[in-house]
Amino acid sequence: MGMLKEEDKEYITEQFSEKLTSKVKVLLFSQKLECEYCLPTEEILKELTGLSDKLTLDVRNLQIDSEDAKGYGVDKVPAIILLGEDDKDYGIRFFGIPSGYEFSSLLADIIDVSNGESDLPSDLVAKIASIDKPVDIKVFVTPTCPYCPNAVRTAHKIALANPGKIKAEMIESTEFPHLANKYAVYGVPKTIINEEVQFEGAMPDQAVVEQVMTAIEKSD
């Protein structure tokens, strides 16, 4: 029995058929040992990428392919990276299994990467694209948090608007408790930008962009 229900497969197949324009590579860093969620993550991604000929799955090992992992900034697994045409890296990262509410974030991100754009207003996109300093956004989530996908999507849409400068990570709190403890994650979603600005809850896109600008100013 697969990880996805048949009715879900039908819906996703229809969405992908209508909305995917360019190919997307789903790059998964995994490992066999000491990773409870690596195998189920790979199983979900195999089923998902099998629903469209525009999707491919590339599975690599964190230890064996350590140089590749380092190049993508991957130091924990499971790690999912969405790559566009010609393996273009938009800075979108998922650390942890994309289950529960976060599965919707993955689907929406795949569509955005395929199209090379999101639904952010053009003025916000221009503002984000003008950023010329590195930005790192971490969003801590849990699979049962209904507000978390909005926070993740906003972070990923911001990264999509300025690939190369901005990286946005979804981090599943219960899978990486050492990080949740390090960043004092007591409620989710919790967003940390450049280690300088942090806030709990899902904020409107415009407000998060302002927080990004504040974090850049503090980093100077």
Q: What is the structure's pLDDT at 3?
A: 82
Phi, psi of 137 (to 5 degrees): -115, 125
Instruction: Give per-residue pLDDT as tens, 54-107.
Output: 999 999 999 999 999 999 999 999 999 999 999 999 999 999 999 999 999 999
Q: Is 108 a member of any domain?
A: yes
- Say yes or no to pLDDT of 167 above 60: yes
SS3 196: coil
44 located within any domain: yes
Looking at residue 141, what is its pLDDT?
A: 98
Give the C-alpha separation, 21 to 117, whole Å. Answer: 11
- Taking 80 as the threshold, does the pLDDT of residue 166 lie above it? yes
Residue found by looking up tokens 């100077």 in the block:
220
Tell me whether the omega of the peptide bond preceding residue 134 falls within 30 degrees of 0, making it cis.
no
- Domain with 77 in it: 6-219
Is the confidence at residue 2, as pLDDT, over 80?
Answer: no
Q: What is the dihedral of CA 172, 188, 103, 193, to 10 degrees?
A: -70
The residues facing 58 across adjacent strands are 27
Number of domains in the chain: 1
Q: How many CB atoms lie within 10 A of CB 89?
A: 20
Q: For the full predicted model, state whether its pTM sits above 0.75.
A: yes
pLDDT at res. 1: 56
Q: What's the rounded Cα separation, in Å, for the pair 78 and 105?
A: 16
- Residue 11 included in any domain: yes
pLDDT digits (tens, 9 = 90+) for 18-35: 999 999 999 999 998 999
Residue 127 CA to residue 129 CA, distance in Å, equals 5
131-165 confidence digits (pLDDT tens)? 999 999 999 999 999 999 999 999 999 999 999 99
CATH of the domain at 197: 3.40.30.80
Evaluate whether residue 22 is within a structural domain. yes
Tell whether 82 is covered by a domain: yes
Mean pLDDT value of segment 195-204: 96
Q: Is the pLDDT of residue 182 over 80?
A: yes
Residue 29 lies in a domain: yes
Query: Does residue 109 fall inside a structural domain?
Result: yes
Q: Is residue 1 part of a domain?
A: no
